[in-house]
Structure formats: C-alpha cells, structure tokens
Amino acid sequence: MRIDVHQHLWPEPLLAALRARNTPPHLDGWTLHTASAPPYAVNPADHDVAVRTALLDADGLDRALISLSSPLGIEWLPDATPLLDAYHEGVTALPGRFGAWAAAGLHTIDPTPLERALDAGCVGLQLPADALLDPAGYARCAPLLAVLERRDAPLFVHPGPHPAPPDGAPGWWPALSPYVHQMHDAWHAFVAFGRAAHPNLRVCFALLAGLGPLHGERLAARGGPARRQIDMDAFVETSSYGPRAVDAITRVLGVDLVVLGSDRPYATVPDFGLGEAFDQAAGVSNPERLLYGKKGRP
C-alpha cells in the first residue's frame, strides 16, 4: 500500500465551523482570513473529496493521511474545541482511502479528546512544531505524548503559526523561512530533549525536518557527538523537496527513515528519480513502520 503521510483537506464540518467565526482564522465564503497573512482565496476543488480521490489515482497512491492546517493556529486558540471537534468529525468520515492525524488543543492540555480521536480511527497525533521547541514544550505536551506511547501511535510534527512576513515578501516566504526554521529547531529539540523524555515514541518530522539532519558535521564541530547513533523511530517526510535534498538526507539517515509526504493541495507528489527500491521504501515500507511499528499493520 503506497501512502502519502502529509496532505490537507478541509472537510465540510470544518468549513462550516470556520465560516461561523468572525475572528481569525475564519472563512468568508472561500476567502481565508488569518492573523498573519493577507486574505487568501481558497480553491474549492482543493477540498472537494471527489477531486482529491481522483488525485490519489493520478499520483499512484493507495492512501493519504489528512492533517489539520497547523499554520492557521487553531490548536493554540482558547476556543479551539468547536474547530477541533469539527475537524475530527469530518476527517473520520472521509472515504476509506483517506486516513487522518488527530489534532489537540494546546491552550489547555487535555488528553481525553485525543483518546477519543484515536478510538475513532485517527492514526496518531499531529502537533505544531512551535509546541515542541524546548524542554518546557515537551513538559506541557507530555500528557499527549504519553497517550501516543501507551497506544503505540505515532507523532507527526508539522509547521505551526508564524509571524506576519516582512512587507513586500513574496508568497513563498512562509514556506521557505518560518516553516523551515520551525522544523529545523524542532528536530534539534527532539534530539536534545524529546527522545530522552519519550524513549518509545515514533515521530515523523515534516519537510525533511527543515534539513536539520544534514547539520551533523556542525553538531560534532560544536560539541555534539562526532557520530550520533541513528534513531530508527525518528522519520522525516519529503514534502516540497526533490531528488537532491532527499538524496542528501538519505545519505545521512539511511533510506529506512524517509517517508513519502506531499503537502497536497499546496504541493505535488514528485518523482524522486532515486529508483524503485527507494520508492518502495519511502512510499510503502517506511510509512508502515512509522504508523504501526514493530507490530505491523493490524
């Protein structure tokens, strides 16, 4: 089964909940208003289940995992519950070729809704990277991460909300600056703090962890281990990167820790050109190990 671990699709209940709001993030028809970006015209086809199912076929995918758009900042809202409930209601009702990552409110940590979302079929939990950048972040999120460890479910770390771009910044600025910085920092925070606190957690970092794994030589030069042992439960996914970056990451981490992720509808599923063995590992074998660990698919 070829799996894309990173896609976004706003189901009808979430669309309705966003349209019911009058403060960011909210939708006015199909215009998205956020706290840190100009109004954005959403393409309705991007969130049309029939259209997205056809794209699965076009991309040669058997399954795609949907997650909340964490840059919207929903998880951090004091009144996040209606939006989170709408998200979970919608994604767990999608057709069977779509799976889903659970989301969790971060203003007040409560593991009970996460338990319900996992019971409803979510494969694991997505958290925004800005929640896991230091020991305090790991301490706050510990009740959620403990649920994942107990239930042998994975964590997906995704870019979170970001400050407004500089005046005149091009449209690609968030994807190339704050998103990458967050993921780079989250990778090193996990190495420094997260793994020791959660030794049994399987985790996947979006967008090749901001290329953080490529900094091993600098880590060694600045007092870190000269040869850090590879963590076989810390995966990275490929969204918005191509053959050169993916090949470089593979040379550092090995092929067994790279999983296919596209970030549709904002990017596409690329042809990495790294051979059939790589495609089988990234799209089939590695996602299975990320999702189900040593026990395998139920």
Q: Which domains does the chain have, with CATH numbers?
A: 3-295 (3.20.20.140)
Q: How far apart, in whole angstroms, are the C-alpha atoms of residue 289 and residue 283?
A: 11
Q: Quote the percentage of the chain above a pLDDT of 70.
A: 99
The pLDDT score that the predictor gives to residue 225 is 77
Residue type (1 letter), 198: H
Question: What confidence tier does 274 reach under pLDDT thresholds 50, 70, 90?
Answer: very high
Question: Which region holds residue 6: left if phi is over 0, alpha if psi is between -120 and 50, else beta?
Answer: beta
Mean pLDDT of 204-231: 89
In the predicted model, is pLDDT for residue 57 greater than 80?
Answer: yes
Give the pLDDT of residue 91.
Answer: 99
199 half-sphere exposure, CB direction, 13 A CA radius: 1
State yes or no: pLDDT of 289 exceeds 90: yes
pLDDT of 297: 75
Whole-number Å distance between alpha carbons of 171 and 109? 33
Q: If pLDDT is split at 50, 70 and 90, which confidence band does 36 have? A: confident
Q: pLDDT band for 286, please (50, 70, 90 cuts).
A: very high
Instruction: Work out the burial of residue 244: count CB atoms within 10 Å of its CB; fewer than 13 is exposed, 13-18 middle, 19 or more buried.
Output: exposed
Closest CA to 240 of 269, 277, 271, 211: 269
DSSP 51-81: HHHHHHHHTT-SEEEE---GGG-GGG-TT-H
User: Cα 272 to chain center, whole Å?
Assistant: 20
> Which residues, at least 6 apart from 196, have a Cβ–Cβ distance to it below 8 Å?
none
Task: Place 216 in a pLDDT band, splitting at 50, 70 and 90.
Answer: confident
Confidence of residue 223 (pLDDT cuts 50, 70, 90): confident
Give the pLDDT of residue 103: 99
Measured distance CA(28)–CA(187) in Å, rounded: 36
Quick: pLDDT tens for 138-157: 999 999 999 999 999 999 99
Percent above pLDDT 90 for the chain: 90
- DSSP per-residue codes, 200-241: T--EEESGGGGGGGGGHHHHHHTTS-SSPPP-TTEEEE-TT-
Q: What's the average model confidence in pLDDT over 74-85?
A: 98
Please check the confidence at residue 31 and state whether its pLDDT lies above 90: yes
- Report pLDDT digits (tens) over 106-129: 999 999 999 999 999 999 999 999
Using only C-alpha atoms, what is the Rg of the chain? Answer: 18
Q: Which residue has the tokens 């809202």?
A: 77
